[in-house]
Amino acid sequence: MTAKTPAEHIINELGGLTKTARLLSTDDRRVPVSTVQGWKDRGKIPQEYWIPIIDAAKSVGKAIDLSEFLAVPEQAA
């Protein structure tokens, strides 16, 4: 079993790489899928994206808390 990182958990909660990138993109700033993939690969999301991610999650009826960005990796099922 491999550990699920906080970034992987949050990206999965938002529906995957492409959906996460789309949710974070605005008319002024596009977030490429490759950026989200980098977060997943590194296992963490830069702090500048935490609040936009929480807001994006709310917009699609999901609840992501700040503590989830710092969570200890859990075992993937």
Rounded to 5°, the CA angle 41-50-61 comes to 100
Greatest pairwise CA separation for the chain in angstroms = 40
Nearest to 11 by CA among 75, 77, 67, 62: 62
* pLDDT 10s digits, 50-64: 999 999 999 999 999
Looking up residue 8, the CATH number of its domain turns out to be: 1.10.260
- The tally of domains found in the chain comes to 1
Q: What angle do CA 51, 38, 49 make, to 5 degrees?
A: 10
Determine contact, residues 45/53, Cβ cutoff 8 Å. yes
Range of the domain at 28: 3-75
Measure CA 66 to chain center. Answer: 11
Residues 17-46 have pLDDT tens digits of 999 999 999 999 999 999 999 999 999 999
Global pTM value = 0.86
